[in-house]
Amino acid sequence: MDRYPVKLVLPVQWGEMDAFHHVNNVHYLRWFESARIAYFAAVGLAIELEARPRLRPILARGTIDYRAPVTFPDTVTVEATVRSFGTTSFVMGYRLHSQAQQRLVAEGESVIVVLDAEGAKTPLPPELKARIVALERGAPPP
């Protein structure tokens, strides 16, 4: 699975640059997060805001490789995929592309742990896993 089925196109904002005149590193994580949330929505892993959602995805680990600095003005494309499954977790991959530079500017990965309403790690529901597999295989999101 390495197709990046979810893709967002996001404008770089001037104010995202820091004193080095590059987009500050924190904004890459925001972009990855936006792609992750779009992926969750596509597979029905509801980002419920109730006090006790049935399933709550939690970020356990994140990695980011910065390939090239991004500067304003630019538009970036951020893509997300699910790379592998654990019992109570799964691994997502991200890719960030700059339109102005026409190149890959960052890659990332994160481990998502799934908690139940009590906050305990819980096995991935088979229907959620099936929807992820279908999305990765190219099925349109349900």
Q: Point out which residues bind a copy of itself (CB under 8 A).
A: 8, 10-11, 13-15, 17-21, 24-27, 29-30, 33-34, 37, 41, 47, 49-51, 56, 58-66, 69, 72-73
Nearer to a copy of itself, 47 or 130 (CB): 47
Residue found by looking up tokens 């390495």 in the block: 2
As measured in angstroms, the least distance from the Cβ of 99 to a copy of itself is 15
DSSP sequence for 80-103: EEEEEE-SSEEEEEEEEEETTTTE
As measured in angstroms, the least distance from the Cβ of 55 to a copy of itself is 13
As measured in angstroms, the least distance from the Cβ of 140 to a copy of itself is 18
Nearer to a copy of itself, 1 or 17 (CB): 17
Nearer to a copy of itself, 1 or 62 (CB): 62
102 alpha-carbon distance from chain centroid: 21
Nearer to a copy of itself, 115 or 133 (CB): 115
Sequence-distant (6+) residues with CB within 8 A of 21 are 71
Q: Measuring CA to CA, which residue among 109, 27, 3 is closest to residue 64?
A: 109
Nearer to a copy of itself, 111 or 133 (CB): 111
Six token digits for residue 80:
């997300």
As measured in angstroms, the least distance from the Cβ of 98 to a copy of itself is 16
d(CA 32, CA 79): 8
- Given a contact cutoff of 8 angstroms between Cβ atoms, the answer to whether 108 and 28 are in contact is yes
3 state SS of 77: strand
As measured in angstroms, the least distance from the Cβ of 38 to a copy of itself is 9
